[in-house]
Structures are given as C-alpha cells and as structure tokens.
Amino acid sequence: MMAKRFTVLDLIDIDLKEHNSLNLHCIGGRKGLAREIGIPDINRPGLALSGFYESFASERIQLFGRGEVAYLRKMSEEGKVENIKQMFSFPIPCCIFTHNLTPDRNFFGEAERAQCPILQTDLTTTDFHARLMRILLDIFAPERSIHGVLVEVYGLGILILGDSGVGKSETALELIKLGHRLVADDVVEIRCVSGNILIGTGANRIIGHHMEIRGLGIINITHLFGVGAIRDRKQIQLVVELEVWDSQKTYDRLGIEEKYMDILGVSIPKLEIPVKPGRNVPIIIETAAMNERLKKMGYNSAKEFNKNILKWIESDQARSVYFGQEDII
C-alpha cells in the first residue's frame, strides 16, 4: 500500500457539502500550501505558546480557538514573541483559526518567514474539530481494492465475491431488478474507518455504476433503473462468495458454524453459496440479508433450531426411560 500524499492545498480544495464543509480559506503563508499533512490528528498549541515545547506535536495541524487567540494578543501586548518564533521553528503543516479569528502582525510575520500557511474558518472550534477529524480519518484510512460486486440488500451492504464468470454481475443485476441498489461493480475500493468499519465504494465514480454483462456488454444502471438503484458508498456487513457447485464437497446445511473473512483487520460474516443450474442465487442472497439482520437483532435461526432439536431429543429420551421402567409393587 502506497503512502498517501495530502497537502494543505488539498485540504482547502477538498469538495465537501453541507454539514461536512470546512469553509476554509488561506489568509497567510501561501508559499507553504504545498506542505504535506502526514497524520490524521489535530493539536491545540496552548502549552507551546506558553513556552513548553517538550512533546510538542508539531507534525499535526495546529488549531487556534478563542482561548489561543486571546493568549496571543496578551503575548503581543507584553512583547513576548520568542515563544511564537520558537513554535515556527518546527515543521508545522499549517495553522487554522476558527470563529473567523485573525492573528496579530507578529504571528503573521513569523508565519510568512517560516512559509507556514495560515487558514481561517467561520465554524466554531468544537464543530470544526469534529468535522476535520472525520475527514482526516477517512482520507488516511487503510484501504485495499477487491475484485467483486458491492450491493445494498434490505439496508445491508453485501460484498459478492467469486471467480471470473461465476455470475457475480448477473446476480447483482437480478438483485437491482428486485429493488435493491448497486454500489460498485468489478472493482470495489474498501476503507477501514474508525478501526472497525469497512466502507466500500466504486474504484471510479464516472464508471462506477456501469456493469459488464457477458453477451450484453456495458450497461448503465442509473439510466436503466433510475437513481434510486444506486449508492455511492456503503458499509460492508456481509460477504457472499459464489463458487461453482462441487459434488465432492460437503456444504453447510444447518448454518450453525459461522465463517468470517478478514478484510483490513476487520472480521466480516461470510457465506459460501454454491452455484448450479436451477438455484435462484439472488433469492438466497435476499434471504441471507434478512437472516443476518435477525442475527444482529439477537435471533439466530440455526442455533434456535438446534436448541429446539436438543430439547426434543432430551424430552423423548426421558419419556422412553420413564415408560421403559417396570412397575415395582
């Protein structure tokens, strides 16, 4: 996996809408906009401004709220600018001021000399911090690409895997016809967000909602079935692997033994579905999605069935023992 290169200019230019928008613009240090942001974390530099630079997280974005700005003004009034000079001796990616606040001339001057970008937003410090952390965690999340199809069935994100030609796209097409939604076909990009959530998207947004059907060619799902038949991204909650039916293999018929697939360190429930003429695979996947939702609600059909069978056996054996005993007079 290649390391990401994400710069301050990328942060300003990132296209975000409504409740995710950062409302950032540069007010100083433009020569440093190519500086790289290396880690998904933020630092409030109050201790550094007071002169304590041990364990100073200089590699993080430095966030200035009302408290830090008030302290900067007090330092400027008292002529204490050495701490500001010392702060800019570190390789800081950028400084961001919330509430549309602006630093004083001393701060601007040191930032320009160090070519450190100064950004400004009209958001509150708390709101901006929450938005920026979500964005950074998403950008720097571990990722990998998998050959498969990602669909949403009854609100559940299902990743369909299998060898080439086994019928992944055809199965997904039938699911879309049944009213479910396509997220990605052929190549699925997966990101691990917050350490335990897998988010799948199409490898290319322009061609992501097209499908290749052998014998038919490339079809546009949006044009054929409408915008209600697609999604841009979806959490992966179940993996279904399609395989050609093997008469020599013993397949699970009860579902008591649960299998999992490890993707980027996250274990996802996995089903292996054999494919052969006469099997309605889309209906099986629909049922699997409903069954998985039941499991998340605390009801496991296979385990409940097994429990009832054991109770029946125990009760039957108890009756046999009872009626098999001779009356003792």
Active site residues: 147, 168, 186, 253
DSSP per-residue letters across 5-40: -EEHHHHHH----GGG----EEEE-GGGTT-EE-SS
Measure the CA–CA gap between 311 and 294, rounded to whole angstroms.
22
Other Cβ atoms within 10 Å of 227 Cβ, number: 11
Residues belonging to the chain: 329
Q: Cα dihedral sign for 203, 205, 207, 209? A: positive
Could you tell me if 163 and 211 are in contact, meaning their C-beta atoms sit under 8 angstroms apart? no
| CA angle at 80 for the pair 74 and 83, rounded to the nearest 5° | 105
Give the whole-angstrom CA distance, residue 286 versus residue 311. 30
Q: Give me the DSSP letters along 257-314.
A: S-EEEEETTEEEEEEEEEE-TT--HHHHHHHHHHHHHHHHTT--HHHHHHHHHHHHHH
β-pair type (181-184, 61-64):
unpaired
Long-range pairs for 70-73 at CB < 8 Å and ≥24 separation?
Answer: 71/46, 72/103, 72/104, 72/107, 73/104
Q: Which region, left, alpha or beta, applies to residue 58 given φ > 0 means left and ψ of -120 to 50 means alpha?
A: alpha
